[in-house]
Amino acid sequence: MRAQFGKTVCIGALASFLAACSPAESGDAQQEVTAAEPAALPSAAATSEAAIAANRFTAWEGRWTGVEGMYVDIKPNGDGTFTLDMQSDLDTKGTYQGVPVENGIRFERGGEEFVLRAGNGEQTGLKWLLDKEDCLVVAEGEGYCRG
């Protein structure tokens, strides 16, 4: 009899527990549960990857100078992207949005994609920057250095 009573109490407790854990009947309560589902939120891995990628290039923040008044001024946006204020030649001055990629910061200028990447004065292809060691290169003939 005592064993039968114990089973009845356990089954009753289990039924109460399951009832308490089941979703509410109201449509509003169901919507709250649906709205908080993890699938609606950005994945932790994606957020982490963007933060790690952006952190690799935070040392690039600030102004880098080229030749004949050219420059790039790099500002982090706080969301893993960068704003590039750039005078890339005598006639082209603009602001571009940059996204970190494996080897640098990718941006679009004049309908063409470029990657601003680490390099040295020799890699810029500009004789005025040949002796520089800390540079960012867009393409041969376009680069910006510090120091």
Note the pLDDT tens digit of each residue in 123-146: 999 999 999 999 999 999 999 999
Residues 34 and 100 placed together within one structural domain of the fold: no
* Pair 109, 37 in one domain: no
- Taking Cα atoms as reference points, which of 96, 99, 146, 102 lies closest to residue 120? 146
Range of the domain at 78: 45-146
Say yes or no: 111 and 95 in one domain: yes
78 and 14, same domain (yes or no): no
Give the total number of structural domains in the chain: 2
- Do residues 51 and 34 share a domain? no
Residues 16 and 25: their CA atoms lie apart, in Å, by 16
Specify the pTM: 0.65
DSSP secondary-structure letter at 133?
A: S
**What local confidence, expressed as pLDDT, does residue 53 receive?**
57
Q: Which residues contact 130 (CB under 8 A, 6 or more apart)?
A: 121, 122
Is there a contact between 109 and 96 (Cβ–Cβ < 8 Å)? yes
63 in the same domain as 20: no
Q: What is the pLDDT of residues 47-102, one digit of tens each?
A: 455 555 567 898 999 999 999 999 999 999 999 999 999 999 999 999 999 999 99
